[in-house]
């Protein structure tokens, strides 16, 4: 374990475990060291919930990460609470979690809750206990998420409103007065200090009630990566379940380290094809072709206006390369209604 990671883990308090059964779903791909550090932080939490186990799903790693993680589980005697599973190839974040969801639904032990946890995280003391306690006290809540933060405890954006026409317009137009006027429609919300009902929370730390899985089913495997937890939470909302942000449950999230897509502090690389395909799927599937067409028209027009303004005013360019062209190529005006099948959603390089 690295020196940096060890400083993020403090000794847990000696407390009686909270009642309830919990399965942590940890999906990893070619991120052995991150996954092992994450499991080490989880180890300190296994006594905080009465019935606690972890399922690590390797999503078809090709660099030997699967063997390294499996060996670490054995060498550290984590196999008393952690099970290692190899997926048949990398079919995406949702497909990996569905392996665990199916097991939970078929298990006669009737697990109460499932937590989705990213491998590029370190769990702060009490994170799982806090979430389980919140869910037990609020049976009407179907999904909840904790706070993601930097190692220095700076909070990260991890709870959001559902994407919509006005949020897409503001996102690509980049005009402060427009952002202010449309503030209550934007996906980003001020980081809450208290428990708050919200539209959706980050899948880096998300607890799901078993009954939600029974009501809405598995995650949509047509999303390879991104938008899958947004889609899942929207389906739960439509089935009558609420979603909450619980900021006292905390993780350190090394943003983008497990995927390489959402790294911060540097100019981003070109967004992968599957990001645009997930965006297209979300709007067409959940809101229909006409709504998706308006979304795409707003995004493309706003992006074109921003790029013209940036060029005239000589503003720095922090957009991903080929952003405008990619928005057009993956819009309903080019793709139409077509949604990728789960197999088509999988990148060739995965």
CB 345 within 8 A of CB 274: yes
Q: What's residue 91's pLDDT? A: 92
pTM of the predicted structure, to 2 decimals:
0.92
Q: Are 267 and 225 in contact (CB under 8 A)?
A: no
What is the per-residue DSSP string for 208-245? EEHHHHHHH-S--TT-SSSSHHHHHHHHHHHTT-EEEE
Q: What is the pLDDT of residue 346?
A: 79
Write out the H or E segment, with its range, that includes residue 261. Answer: none
CATH of domain 3-156+191-253: 3.90.550.60
Full pLDDT tens readout for the chain, 350 residues: 454 565 666 545 556 789 889 999 999 999 999 999 999 999 999 999 999 999 999 999 999 999 999 999 999 999 999 999 999 999 999 999 999 999 999 987 789 999 999 999 999 999 999 999 999 999 999 999 999 999 999 999 999 999 999 999 999 999 999 999 999 999 999 999 999 999 999 999 999 999 999 999 999 999 999 999 999 999 999 999 999 999 999 999 998 655 545 555 567 899 999 999 999 999 999 999 999 999 999 999 999 999 999 999 999 999 999 999 999 999 999 999 989 888 777 786 66
Q: How far apart are CA 28 and CA 201, in angstroms?
A: 20
Q: What is the pLDDT of residue 7?
A: 60
* Beta carbons of 243 and 142 less than 8 angstroms apart: yes
Q: What is the pLDDT of residue 343?
A: 78
User: Are 172 and 303 in contact, with CB atoms under 8 Å apart?
Assistant: yes
Identify the burial level of 346 via C-beta atoms within 10 angstroms of its C-beta, where 0-12 means exposed, 13-18 middle and 19 or more buried: buried
> What pLDDT score was predicted for residue 4?
53
| Helix H or strand E encompassing 347 | none
Q: Are strands 18-28 and 49-58 parallel, antiparallel or unpaired?
A: parallel
Cα 342 from Cα 27, distance rounded (Å): 17
How far apart are the C-alpha atoms of 221 and 93, rounded to whole Å? Answer: 8
Ordered by start, the domain boundaries in the chain are: 3-156+191-253, 165-185+265-350
């Amino acid at each position: 374990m690295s020196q940096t990671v060890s400083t993020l883990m403090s000794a847990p308090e000696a407390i009686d475990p909270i009642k309830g059964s919990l399965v942590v779903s940890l999906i990893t791909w070619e991120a052995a060291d991150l996954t092992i550090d994450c499991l080490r932080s989880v180890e300190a939490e296994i006594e905080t919930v009465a019935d606690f186990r972890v399922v690590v799903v390797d999503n078809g790693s090709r660099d030997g990460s699967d063997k390294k993680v499996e060996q670490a589980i054995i060498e550290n005697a984590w196999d008393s609470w952690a099970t290692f599973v190899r997926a048949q190839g990398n079919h995406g974040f949702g497909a990996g979690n569905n392996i665990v969801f199916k097991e939970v639904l078929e298990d006669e032990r009737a697990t109460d809750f499932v937590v989705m946890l990213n491998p590029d995280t370190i769990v702060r003391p009490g994170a799982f206990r806090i979430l389980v306690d919140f869910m037990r006290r609020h049976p009407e809540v179907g999904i909840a998420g904790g706070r993601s933060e930097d190692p220095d405890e700076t909070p990260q954006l991890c709870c959001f409103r559902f994407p919509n026409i006005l949020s897409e317009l503001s996102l690509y137009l980049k005009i402060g007065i427009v952002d202010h006027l449309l503030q209550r429609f934007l996906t980003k919300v001020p980081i809450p200090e208290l428990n708050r009902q919200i539209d959706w929370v980050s899948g880096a730390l998300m607890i799901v009630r078993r009954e939600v899985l029974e009501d809405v089913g598995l995650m949509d495997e047509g999303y390879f990566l991104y938008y899958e937890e947004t889609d899942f939470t929207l389906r739960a909302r439509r089935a009558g379940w609420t979603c909450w942000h619980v900021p006292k449950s905390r993780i350190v999230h090394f943003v983008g380290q497990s995927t390489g897509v959402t790294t911060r502090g540097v100019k981003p690389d070109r967004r992968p094809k599957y990001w645009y395909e997930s965006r297209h799927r979300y709007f067409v599937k959940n809101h229909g072709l006409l709504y998706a067409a308006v979304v795409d028209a707003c995004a493309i027009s706003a992006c074109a206006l921003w790029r013209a303004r940036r060029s005239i005013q000589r503003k720095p360019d922090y957009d991903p390369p080929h952003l405008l062209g990619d928005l057009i190529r993956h819009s309903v005006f080019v793709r139409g209604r077509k949604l990728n099948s789960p197999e088509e959603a999988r990148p060739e390089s995965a």
